A and B are shown apart, each in its own frame.
Chain A
Amino acid sequence: MTVDQPVSTAPRRRPRLRGRVAIGAALAGLILGLSAGPALAGTAYSSWGYFSVAGTSYRNMAYVYADTTGSGSAKASTDAGPTSGTVGSGWVGARGRLFTSGGSLSCEGSNTYNSSSLTTSQVVTGASCWRYSHGAWYSYGVALGWNGSGYNSVYTFVSPNQNS
């Protein structure tokens, strides 16, 4: 009896042990994954926005790149381009704007125009700007389209926030 007991109980204990190992390892992994915090570096993109200027259709998008390493850094950029046909040099402009979670403008780029023709599959990236600190950031960019006698400025959608 006493000799058989360990043999008879072993098959029931092995699955429990394996389950505990797996659960424990999964929890350890979860903690490891979360303790890494938000990914060291990541980019958050707004949805594409669509607008029309003098019969030409365009799209724009704002995005924010943020890096948690060191003292932290964040960059705001804006893309813009036509959605139909081809536009000539200088027809599309864009600039990046970076905002804090409190709504303060943290940095801004200057208007940047396409220096060569753009097709429907191409976008120009406006001047980006950087801020070197930790925080939660939004990108809310500006795009410009030539209307025949000047430029119409249209904002992008606001990007999701990204932490640095």
Chain B
Amino acid sequence: MPKSNTRAALATAGIVIGCLFGGLVAGSAIAVGPTILAPVGLSARGEVVAAPMPSPSYSANDEGLTYGSALDAPSPETEPDLIQAVSDDGTEGYVLKTDLDDADGTAAAASFTSPEDAVKWQARRALETVTIPVYAVDGRTVIGKFTVAAPPATSPVSTVEQ
């Protein structure tokens, strides 16, 4: 093989290997680790080992409302009164759990007496975004708004591996 061709082949191989390695290091997001934290009622299968999420510990404001991150809550019942949130314009604050439950359909779901009620509710709410206030930690001072996305008119269904 001519010298120039050999060098070109080596260089190409080097760049491909380097890009592949660099790209893999930079671009992958893989759930790793021997144990993951499980919300209430959820379990894992296969090689995944799950341990129960610890109970959250929230601070309380002067009004006695608990506040903190919903990321720490292992169930809807353990979310704080004021959920740490980012307003639509990027301001850090809190939304009231009761406002959020009204906006995302949680409160409505509690009133359904059959699955058909849920489908009818979704048809009514389809494409209707709802905004709720974002408060300072006092739970009274409004500092922004938070938009809850509407459900789709037709539920997207996909096929997945067993």
Determine the chain A residues whose CB is within 8 A of the CB of B76 once the complex forms.
142, 153, 155
Interface residue? B70 (CB, 8 A): yes
Is the CB–CB distance between A42 and B27 below 8 Å? yes
Interface residue? B19 (CB, 8 A): yes
* Majority-rule SS of A interface residues: mixed
Inter-chain CA distance A48–B119, complex, in Å, is: 25
Inter-chain CA distance A42–B12, complex, in Å, is: 26
**Minimal beta-carbon separation of A81 from chain B (angstroms):** 7
**Interface range for A:** 35 or more
B159: contacting residue among A17, A99, A121, CB under 8 A: A121
Inter-chain CA distance A156–B68, complex, in Å, is: 19
**Minimal beta-carbon separation of B127 from chain A (angstroms):** 10
Query: CB within 8 Å of A: which of B1-25?
Result: 3, 6-7, 10-25
Using CB atoms, name the residue of chain A closest to B156. Answer: A125
Is the CB–CB distance between B106 and A153 below 8 Å? yes
Is the CB–CB distance between B158 and A140 below 8 Å? no
Interface residue? B48 (CB, 8 A): yes
Using CB atoms, name the residue of chain B closest to A109. Answer: B149
Inter-chain CA distance A43–B30, complex, in Å, is: 10
Is the CB–CB distance between A127 and B151 below 8 Å? yes
Query: CB within 8 Å of B: which of A80-103?
Result: 81, 83, 88-91, 93, 95-97, 99-100, 102-103
Is the CB–CB distance between B43 and A51 below 8 Å? yes
Given A120-B162, A123-B157, also A29-B10 (CB < 8 A) = no
**Minimal beta-carbon separation of B151 from chain A (angstroms):** 4
Is the CB–CB distance between B39 and A156 below 8 Å? yes
Is the CB–CB distance between A31 and B22 below 8 Å? yes
Inter-chain CA distance A2–B66, complex, in Å, is: 88
Inter-chain CA distance A23–B15, complex, in Å, is: 9
User: Please, what's the 1-or-0 string for B16-44, where 1 marks a CB less than 8 Å from any CB in chain A?
Assistant: 11111111111111110000111111111
Write 21 A-B pairs (CB below 8 A) sorted by A numbering: A21-B11, A22-B14, A26-B17, A29-B17, A36-B22, A44-B31, A49-B44, A88-B115, A90-B116, A90-B118, A95-B104, A105-B86, A110-B125, A111-B105, A113-B155, A115-B119, A123-B158, A131-B86, A133-B90, A140-B71, A159-B31
Q: Tell me the B residues contacting A by CB distance below 8 Å.
A: 3, 6-7, 10-31, 36-45, 48, 50, 68-76, 83-86, 90, 92, 95, 100, 103-106, 108-110, 112-119, 122, 125, 130, 146-152, 154-162
